Chain A
Amino acid sequence: MRTRLIRTSACAGWVLAAAVMATLGGCAAGPNPRDPLEPFNRKVSEFNQGVDSIVLKPAAIVYKNATPPLVRTGVSNFFGNLRDFWSFVNSTLQFKLQDAVESLARFQVNTMFGLGGIIDVASELNIERHKEDFGQTLGRWGVPPGPYLVLPFLGPSTMRDTLALPVDYQGDLLRKVTPSAPRDALYVLRAIDARANLLRIGGVIDEAALDKYSFTRDAYLQKRQAEIFENKHDDDKDGAEPKDGEIPPLPDDGPAKAPAAGQPQPVPAR
């Protein structure tokens, strides 16, 4: 059910985005060149926040109160371990061989010695986690992020990362779980686990932001850029201020963490 939901919502995002683009037609981009669909995106953000406050956040709170921390850590580790395998594939596609070796080692060690990924033995052994998804791989290959896009249910993304979602979905090991009932339960558990991990952050964005939408967008695009070009820092420019009158260059890249398909990008905690 989750699967279908994700698929539908990703599709809906596309259709809607295309429709909005068509109506905007030639009429110039909004004030922010990276976010020509701002009015549409703001509506979707509001919608996502509504969904979060009615469904996801309450579910995450119940889950957090009902399960001991050790169980929750095990659940996070289990999903993280499945993710490590997809990170291995994507690191390989990006020719980040060191990272690929480490991700594969993590996956093997945790699957074999960590009870199928429930115990994160690899981190105890100081094997670092490198999160990679197909959107990052495309970015590494030189595909530009395109306009910022807020997807229904999934949250912040970009055109490129939305295009990458179906591939991430194919590479999601949870998809291989055959009877659909336990698989869908796992999808739901993953969403709740991800949201529960954000509860601690609480209302940080609410407190820090003057405009939550712009704050999320600007942070997200920067973070995504940093994830893709993690080793290519520009010491002369990163975080330096723009020259007088120059419009600050927007990060050349999209969103934080294109969610692995099936894993909703939780709306920022409140």
Chain B
Amino acid sequence: MNRRMFGQWAATVALAISAAFAPLAQAADEAPDAMIKRLSDEVLGAIKSDKAIQAGDTSRILALVDSKIMPNVNFARMTAAAVGPAWRQATPEQRAKLQEEFKILLVRTYSGALAQVDDQTISIKPQRSAPTDTDVVVRSEIRGRGDPIQLEYRLEKTPGQGAGWKIYNLNVLGVWLVETYRSQFAQEISAKGVDGLIAALAERNKTNANAGANTSKKG
């Protein structure tokens, strides 16, 4: 009897442990297009069920981005690519600040778009890469009212346990995000250096936050 109970207990524990690790194993093996599909559905679902996000609450959107999206993004690589050659001379503190300010800028920019999500659905286009590729583009399309919006992601497969695929560039309607910032960043850096760029980003974020506060007061 005791032995049987122990057997049951052990089986339950084993099941619980494998259940806990299954998502990890799945994440590591997950194909990039499957990951984008899962991520898109999760984010859309989270927005649809959250009134605060629909109302444009930036802090809630930031929380959603941090919990759902950022773990799947190599944001350091993204920032480095936008900053260009000056990244290599930047100190670790400067790099951290650049990433932080750039992230806030992007989140604010996209929060307006995210707040307008209602009945949209995501479809992923057929994948053209080989299963052995470690750097791929995943194409998706948001369908809702009006013309469909093309969204593409560039991902790299990072080695190591549980790392899996990480997004490092994003394309909206044919425009790559990193490329669009590269020459603006270069302008700031050549005029005022890396600290000048950090200051410019911080200033832009401050202005945006104030403008946002004003409109929400009015609205």
With contacts A208-B105, A223-B175, A226-B175 taken as known, whether A248 is within 8 angstroms of B182 at the C-beta atoms is: yes
How many residues of chain A have a CB within 8 Å of chain B?
32
A167 to B175 CA separation, bound complex (whole angstroms): 27
A32 to B171 CA separation, bound complex (whole angstroms): 22
Q: Are B137 and A210 interface neighbours, CB within 8 A?
A: no
Q: Are A238 and B188 interface neighbours, CB within 8 A?
A: no
B169 at the interface (CB under 8 A from A): yes
A21 to B175 CA separation, bound complex (whole angstroms): 29
Stretch at the interface among B14-22, B91-99, B128-136, B158-166: B128-136
A218's contact among B84, B137, B179, by CB below 8 Å, is which? B179
- Residues facing B in A198-252 (CB within 8 A) are 200, 202-204, 207-211, 214-215, 218-219, 222-223, 225-227, 230, 233, 235-236, 238-241, 244-245, 248, 251
Q: Are A32 and B137 interface neighbours, CB within 8 A?
A: no
Q: How far does the Cβ of B33 sit from chain A's closest Cβ, in whole Å?
A: 13
A155 to B176 CA separation, bound complex (whole angstroms): 21
B187's contact among A203, A207, A214, A248, by CB below 8 Å, is which? A214
Q: How far does the Cβ of B109 sit from chain A's closest Cβ, in whole Å?
A: 4
How many residues of chain B have a CB within 8 Å of chain A?
42
A241 to B78 CA separation, bound complex (whole angstroms): 9
Q: How far does the Cβ of A157 sit from chain B's closest Cβ, in whole Å?
A: 16
Nearest residue (CB) in B for A80 is: B147
Nearest residue (CB) in A for B116 is: A200
Q: How far does the Cβ of A32 sit from chain B's closest Cβ, in whole Å?
A: 7
Contacts of A202 in B (CB 8 A): 112
B154 at the interface (CB under 8 A from A): yes
B200's contact among A210, A215, A219, by CB below 8 Å, is which? A210
Contacts of B182 in A (CB 8 A): 218, 248
Q: Are A222 and B187 interface neighbours, CB within 8 A?
A: no
A-B contacts, 20 listed (Cβ < 8 Å): A202-B112, A203-B211, A207-B208, A210-B185, A210-B188, A218-B179, A218-B180, A222-B175, A222-B180, A226-B173, A226-B174, A238-B176, A239-B137, A239-B169, A239-B170, A239-B176, A240-B154, A240-B169, A241-B80, A244-B85
